[in-house]
Structure 1
Amino acid sequence: MNGTTIQASSIMEQSEKKAKNFEVIVKNFIAGGVAGMCSKTTVAPLDRIKILLQAQHEYYKHLGVFSGLKEVVQRENFFALYKGNLVQMIRAVPYAAIQFTAYEQYKKHLGKLFEQNSHIDGFLAGAAGGVTAAAITYPLDTIRARLAFQVASNTLYSGIKHAAVRMFKEEGGLRALYRGFWPNMLGMIPYAGFSFYTFEKLKYLCLKYGPHYLCSEHKTTGNLILNIPAKLLCGGAAGAVAHTFSYPLDVTKRRMQLAMMNPTTHKYASGMLSTIKIIYIENGIVKGLYRGMSINFLRAIPFMAVGFAMYEVTKQMLNLDTGVRL
């Protein structure tokens, strides 16, 4: 009888543990989705002009960031700054939800393999989370880039479905939706890895050395949490570091994604290494592989700042992050 009771108790404990873990995953998913929606909407106009500059659109390649934004409004209209943002939301919400949730799960398991505070687990978990999310949502990123690249006077696609069907039929099936996939995956490793590592490292330093200026008390537990300005600061710095390392591969990915939209750019569809070589030969490093870097910093800093800040805030609202007691 005692053995039966113990076994039943063990089964109940395991069931409760699984239910709790599932609840945590769902809450992380919600927090990540909110973060993705807010961060992408914040930088949507900068996202569009970045794509136009990266791929050297004929109407915008001679312009800078602010003159390009002004030209978009004059040539089309104000809402053209948000062209492709619907598909961006369809991609960004699940992407961020998957990325943050996967990061938490990978970190939980990788933390058992490394020494405490080694931070290696944070980098690897961030990289793995980014790769997981990017692999699942990549076709939507390609479609969004196509929609953002076209202008009112030269429209190839009427919407998300039309773009997907036309690319699939005319450009080699599923392969077309995954063009630029490998540079994206390779770029995601330093991008996601350094972004999560940098944020967590800065968060730790703020909590340890600046609690009186950069922290506040959690309403329920009284533990220390970062205040909103500190969250934005740490997130912005994380974005700057991550994008510096991964940017050339982001340019390569964009050239490959948009290669089939113009006969003169078909040469970028042959492969990742050949695309990098062509960009380097034709435009060099600064004006080629790092083209549009200025707008990337203007975009990356608020994007990461809002993303990490909203993720932290939402987690605290859902009682996933109750702070630390130093």
Structure 2
Amino acid sequence: MTLAMERKNDSEFILKSLLAGGVAGMCSKTTVAPLDRLKILLQAHQPRYKSMRVPQGLAAIVKDESILALYKGNGAQMVRIFPYAATQFTSFEIYKKYLLRLGLPRHTDKFIAGAGAGVTAVALTYPLDTIRARLAFQVVGDTRYTGIANAAVTIFKTEGGVRALYRGFVPTLMGMVPYAGLSFYCFEMLKYMFMKYIPQYACGKLDRNSGGLVLSIPAKLLCGGFAGAVAQSVSYPLDVTRRRMQLALMNPLTEKFGMGMVQTLTLIYKEDGVVKGLYRGMSINYLRAIPMVAVSFSTYELMKQTLNLDTGMKI
């Protein structure tokens, strides 16, 4: 194969991977957008919702605002999630390809590639996550931003420039390593085990092009859901810390959470402890994270098959 042909194939692979990853991210986040918004309100102790359970909180949002309010901030989320997920999945494929040559222990390359992919994606799209969180935190009667552009300009001008858009970035990076690493590791490991040991239950028909095994949709969802549960359990306290830092300046009473990561993490623990502080909102997080990661991985796998990126696995 000529060098020109290799470059063309590589470019086509990257473009298709970006598309598959972006679509997967948009589908997964839209699926759980109402739970995502309520999680933000609970994590940051929004006064109106801090004592409510999940059903009460969702009902209150609809009653106080409208059913569309369940998706408040989802526009910013879509603007962020397409490049984020596209970058994450594509980076994972690239890192995995190069790490495979190092001869690492089985599946270790998946964890490293996943962690690296998560760090790469979050570094490129973090300001949009801050903006989305600010928009989702707003409630009726306390509207500070009119949209994505207004929020970006306001935060930039009044809170310290680019640095303000990256508030909470350090705990995000620290949380992303175990979260993304474990997500990809668990999914890939379960996928391999299902195909190796129970293909008669977990696999659909053989891929028509290669004869390789392909996971059925229920098996994809199960692998993705389990991967999401494990990853979130480990990284959640850092996610809470990130949110408290991002939203600190939305309320004078919470400005003390706008300090560094260690100080914020310590303050959350001192004031609210582990269950009501560092793991606050964890129940709703499981409700959203498990289907979100399940849909994300499943959609990505389906998109790969549709775009002829995945020829099936031969065990």
Q: Provide, for residues 267-321 of structure 1, a one-character-per-residue CA deviation record: whole Å limited to 9, x for no partner.
A: 0111111100110000001110000000010001100000000000000011111
Task: Report what 2:217 is aligned to.
Answer: 228
Superposition pairs of residues 205-216 of structure 1, within 5 angstroms? 205-216=193-204
Greater displacement, 214-223 / 42-51: 214-223
Task: Report what 2:168 is aligned to.
Answer: 180
Do 1:126 and 1:194's aligned partners in 2 also have CA atoms closer than 8 Å?
yes
Do 1:65 and 1:295's aligned partners in 2 also have CA atoms closer than 8 Å?
yes
Task: Report what 1:163 is aligned to.
Answer: 151
Amino acid at match of 1:267: K
Task: Report what 1:103 is aligned to.
Answer: 92
Do 1:114 and 1:120's aligned partners in 2 also have CA atoms closer than 8 Å?
no
CA distance in 2, matches of 1:88, 1:308: 18
1:308 aligned to which of 287, 291, 297: 297
TM-superposed deviation, 1:213: 0.9
Structure 1 SS opposite 2:214: strand
CA distance in 2, matches of 1:154, 1:267: 20
Greater displacement, 167-176 / 211-220: 211-220
Amino acid at match of 2:163: R
TM-superposed deviation, 1:105: 0.4
- Unpaired runs of 5+ residues, structure 2, are none
Amino acid at match of 1:175: R
Task: Report what 1:94 is aligned to.
Answer: 83
CA RMSD of aligned residues (A): 0.9
Task: Report what 2:257 is aligned to.
Answer: 268
Task: Report what 1:4 is aligned to.
Answer: none
Task: Report what 2:119 is aligned to.
Answer: 131
Task: Report what 2:107 is aligned to.
Answer: 119
Q: Provide, for residues 18-66 of structure 1, a one-character-per-residue CA deviation record: whole Å limited to 9, x for no partner.
A: 1111111111111101100100100000100000000000000010111
Larger Rg over CA atoms: 1
Structure 1 SS opposite 2:101: coil
TM-superposed deviation, 1:114: 2.5
Q: Provide, for residues 106-131 of structure 1, a one-character-per-residue CA deviation record: whole Å limited to 9, x for no partner.
A: 1111111134x621111000000000
TM-superposed deviation, 1:219: 3.0
Q: Provide, for residues 209-256 of structure 1, a one-character-per-residue CA deviation record: whole Å limited to 9, x for no partner.
A: 111111012133332100000000000000000000100000000000
CA distance in 2, matches of 1:159, 1:325: 49
Question: TM-score, normalized by length of structure 2?
Answer: 0.98
Task: Report what 1:61 is aligned to.
Answer: 50
- Alignment of 1:154 with 2:142, yes or no, is yes
Structure 2 SS opposite 1:112: helix
Task: Report what 1:201 is aligned to.
Answer: 189
User: How many residue pairs align between the two structures?
Assistant: 314
Task: Report what 1:252 is aligned to.
Answer: 241
CA distance in 2, matches of 1:161, 1:259: 20
- Unpaired runs of 5+ residues, structure 1, are 1-11
- Alignment of 1:20 with 2:31, yes or no, is no
Structure 2 SS opposite 1:226: coil
CA distance in 2, matches of 1:209, 1:72: 46
